Amino acid sequence: MDMPVNPVWQQHLFLGSWQSGKGEQVDVMEPATGDVISQLKAATPADVDRAATIANEAQKQWIAVPFDQKAEILRKAATLLKERADEINGWNTRECGSIGPKADWELQATYEQAQMAAALPMQPSGEIFPSNMPGKRNYWKRVPIGTVGVIAPWNFPILLAMRSVFPALAMGNCVILKPDPKSSICGGVLMAQVLEDAGLPKGVFHVLPGGPEVGQALVEHSLVKMISFTGSTAVGKKIGETCGRMLKKAALELGGNNAQVVLEDANLDIASSCGAWGSFLHQGQICMQTGRHLVHCSVADEYIERLATRAGNLAYGNPAQEQVHLGPLINEVQAKRVEDIVNRSVEMGARIVVGGKRNGNYYEATVIADVTPDMPVFSEEVFGPIAPVMTFDSDESACALVNESPYGLAAAIHSGSTERALKIANRIQVGMVHINDQTVNNEFQVPFGGMGSSGNSGRFGGPANIEEFTTSQWVSVMEEGIQYPF
């Protein structure tokens, strides 16, 4: 798709309320080629203040919009996502290095999130509790938080933004979205256009592309009552500290170093397929990526052989120009980081079975054997197409290896006995466990979140969104007042 430089993007950054940012002109780069494919104006902290002020006023009207009208806007947004699939997917491919199937899947998952969110406004919003005082009624209900700040990453920029934006809007909040500078068009500007064209009132949703200073201003603004952040653990901890001081709600979905456990009774063909998908999908740039392959020593050689065969069959290249399995890593900095982690691990004794080479922003699908826990390829979140394999000899040692990581996002367990796998699942400290499947799982109706350094147990998905994007209020009613002793 030919997408030339388009300076009018800046007109959509602040959904009907802001026509020009005060920040610098930012080039939008294509990681596959290094070309500039568009430009936009970055936001500034002053723009955050203006957005928060406008949203604070707009929320008073938005909360009063009937539930069926909110739902209709979200359903219309879902329809527009499908109608504009070619444009959105084209930008996802060129801006983020996504291959076609990944872009298709992300858009479908975002569509499902919109449909799910459309059902939220009609759900019960509270309960009635009894009272020990005659004639008194106690109503406990969920109410909107106010303005929600959403800070989204570049790897799945549409889904990981809108899984917070859609339900937050559905529950009566206004939203300020700060997309990552590397994905501000597909993950921000195009979404603003969708919601605007779906009929969302002006001032309810704002898109502010920018760097860390914009994110910090959003987190620290007193009119922004909640932050939903998806990104690195290091940044998430800083956001959590700030929100804690301000008594501000924070939903933090952070990094992961997810393990796939392969027991000796597993179907190795299925396990290696799941392992390849979990490690190499989107060049491994996924928080739920299979970052550690823990394989029983009795089947490790066969598993490594099967996994290496799958990796060796994967081609990389420019997904906008050819059909490939792997696109580029997001930029040269990340590509060099992956290369460094692999090289340091090899120096410590790891063995590259297949792959292991970088070509610009591209990195080959790589399988590494003879891995030990002290190697960076095992202990760090690599965020690249790397599959490190380590062996174990008992269920106890497998559980210990999984729990050794400070991260606790996802895990997969492969076994011919689901009962045995469930026992292991009960012993590992992660937010999501998938038996005889891979670690990269997402279903819009199921609550999603991690433990430990992977997050603060905030949950996205299905009914969890009602609690996540609201606060509670107790209202008691007496038909006649009480005469107290004084």
Mean pLDDT rounded to a whole number for the chain: 94
Element (H, E) at 166: helix 159-170
Distances (CA, A) of 334 to 174, 258, 338, 339: 34, 19, 6, 9
Token pair in block for residue 109:
């998952």
- Residues designated catalytic: 253, 287
Kindly indicate the confidence band of residue 272, based on its pLDDT and cuts at 50, 70 and 90.
very high
pLDDT tens digits for range 103-158: 999 999 999 999 999 999 999 989 999 999 988 999 999 999 999 999 999 999 99
pLDDT tens digits for range 164-173: 999 999 999 9
Residues in the chain: 486
DSSP-assigned states of every residue in 366-403: EEEES--TTSHHHHS---SSEEEEEEESSHHHHHHHHH
Q: Is residue 308 scored above 50 in pLDDT?
A: yes
pTM here?
A: 0.94
Q: Is residue 55 scored above 90 in pLDDT?
A: yes
Alpha-carbon distance of 289 to 385, in angstroms, equals: 9
Alpha-carbon distance of 403 to 387, in angstroms, equals: 18
**DSSP letter assigned to residue 202:** T
Please give the pLDDT value at position 461. 82
Alpha-carbon distance of 181 to 170, in angstroms, equals: 26
- Residue where the block lists tokens 């739902």: 71
pLDDT tens digits for range 201-258: 999 999 999 999 999 999 999 999 999 999 999 999 999 999 999 999 999 999 999 9
pLDDT tens digits for range 365-382: 999 999 999 999 999 999
Alpha-carbon distance of 241 to 204, in angstroms, equals: 27
Residues 36-65 have a mean pLDDT of 96
Q: Is residue 5 scored above 70 in pLDDT?
A: no
pLDDT tens digits for range 67-103: 999 999 999 999 999 999 999 999 999 999 999 999 9
**DSSP letter assigned to residue 326:** B
Residues 278-284 have a mean pLDDT of 98
User: When comparing pLDDT for 291 and 7, which is higher?
Assistant: 291
Given 3-state DSSP classes, what are the helix, strand and coil percentages for the chain, each rounded to the nearest 5?
40, 20, 35
- Residue where the block lists tokens 């603060």: 456
pLDDT tens digits for range 315-327: 999 999 999 999 9
Distance of CA 126 to the CA centre of its chain: 29
Q: Under DSSP, is residue 360 helix (H, G, I), strand (E, B) or coil? A: coil
Distances (CA, A) of 419 to 182, 415, 467: 44, 9, 32
- Residue where the block lists tokens 């997917």: 89
